[in-house]
Amino acid sequence: MNRDQKQAAVEEISSELESANAVFAIDYRGISVPQAAELRSKLRESDASFSVVKNRLAKRATDGTDAAAALDEHLAGPTALTFIRGDAVVVAKTISDFIKANDVLAYKGGLMDGSALAPEQFTAIAKLPGVDTLRGQLVGLAASPLSGLVRTLNQLVAGLAQQLGQVAEQGLVGGDAAPAAEEAPAEEEAPAAEEAEADDSEPEASAEGDDAAEAEEPEAEDTTSENQADETSEEGGDDADADSGDEKED
């Protein structure tokens, strides 16, 4: 690498440091080329880059910057710098999962939000949910009371509609109550009228029965008179026969 190439490499590292909100120094020993390509692809999805650097050139890039105190001590041995422009938590989780899956790489140290990030801190943030996940959870928490309110209002409206439907079926709305009230007394008056007619018909029947009895009594008297007349005539006949017998004897 000539002087110009070295200067270009320093300028590139300096540019990455300025645009990054976090930088992780990784020991890349043991990683294969396919594995490195896979890791770069995953980090690119989180708006991060994985670059193998020469330690001396990296120190020249950090010279006179806030990153020097956090990174210079880790710029020894095989080193790859991960420049993060997106969510540092997601990137830490991606690297941590890759280390567990492939048993390669090791986190040395880094810089996050202007402060040094120790290995134990890196492990801790790798266990945290990402910013997008936290936002989703926050939106869910904020929406939960609203969802409960909407559900309650829907239940109230449904209950009110059901009650109004029952009231309508009973004829208590729409002017149907008065006719129903009028029909009830009319139905009560009908049995009373029938009872009154029955009471009136009973005296008439009694009167007709008395008339029939009176009409039958004279017939009985006539029959008695006829019987008495027959007996009288028979007695007269007997007397006449007795007289004629006496005359014959004389």
Output the pLDDT for position 111. Answer: 93
The pLDDT value given to residue 235: 45
Query: Given phi > 0 = left and psi -120 to 50 = alpha, else beta, which region is 81?
Result: beta
Question: How much is the pLDDT for 147?
Answer: 62
For the chain, which residues make up each domain, given as ranges? Answer: 3-128, 131-164
One digit per residue, pLDDT tens: the chain, 250 residues? Answer: 888 999 999 999 999 999 999 999 999 999 999 999 999 999 999 999 999 999 999 999 999 888 888 899 999 999 999 999 999 999 999 999 999 999 999 999 999 988 999 999 999 999 887 656 655 655 655 555 666 666 777 777 777 677 666 666 766 555 454 444 455 454 555 555 455 454 554 444 444 444 444 444 444 444 444 444 444 444 444 443 434 444 443 3
pLDDT of residue 95: 96
pLDDT at 85: 94
Nearest of 104, 103, 110, 143 to residue 125 by alpha carbon: 110
127, burial (CB in 10 Å: exposed 0-12, middle 13-18, buried 19+): exposed
CATH superfamily of 3-128: Ribosomal protein L10, N-terminal RNA-binding domain (3.30.70.1730)
pLDDT at position 241 is 44
Residue type, 98: F
- Give residue 248's pLDDT: 42
- Residue 121's pLDDT is 94
